[in-house]
Amino acid sequence: MLTKCPFCNGALEIKELGCNKCDVTIRGRFPFSTFFQLSPEQMEFVKIFLKSRGNIKEVEKELGISYPTVRGKLNDILKSLGMKPHKEALKREEILESLSKGEITVEEAVEKLKKI
C-alpha cells in the first residue's frame, strides 16, 4: 500500500471510500493503520505470529526458521512500526545468539540470563 506520494514524498491519506455493490461514495479523511507501513512479507509474518498466539517455537516450525531469525523479524517489524524492543529483550537475544554461535556455554548463558 502506498503511504508516501511518489511525486513529492508527502504523506498520503485516504479521502474517499466507495461501495462496490451500490456505488455509494463517502468522502472524508480516513487515517491509515500503522500496519500499512509493513511490507507484505512482514504482514504475513505477523499473521503467522498471531495465529500461533506468539509461540515462537510454533513460528519457527511453521516457517522453518531459527529462533534468532524469528526474533530478528520481530525486531524489524517493531522498527517498521516506529517501536523499539525492550533493552532486556535485546540483551536476552545477544546472550542466546552468543550461545547459538558457541561463544559461551549453556551455564554461562543461564547465569547471564538470571542477571537480567
Residues spanned by the domain of 97 = 87-116
Residue 100 lies in a domain: yes
In a domain, 57, yes or no: no
Residue 95: inside a domain: yes
**Domains: count for the chain:** 1
Region 9-31 average pLDDT: 95
If DSSP states are collapsed to H, E and C, what string results for the chain?
CCCECCCCCCECCEEEEECCCCCCEEEEEECCCHHHHCCHHHHHHHHHHHHCCCCHHHHHHHHCCCHHHHHHHHHHHHHHCCCCCCHHHHHHHHHHHHHHCCCCCHHHHHHHHHCC
The predicted pLDDT at position 53 comes to 96
Q: Which of 100, 91, 39, 68 is nearest to 59 (CA)?
A: 68
Per-residue pLDDT tens for 94-115? 898 899 889 999 999 999 888 8
In a domain, 60, yes or no: no
**Residue 29 forms part of a structural domain:** no
The pLDDT value recorded for residue 92 is 84
Q: Could you tell me how far CA 12 lies from the centroid of its own chain?
A: 22
Predicted confidence (pLDDT) per residue in 32-91, tens digit:
888 888 999 999 999 999 999 999 999 999 999 998 899 899 989 998 898 876 777 778
pTM, entire model: 0.60
Residue 67 lies in a domain: no
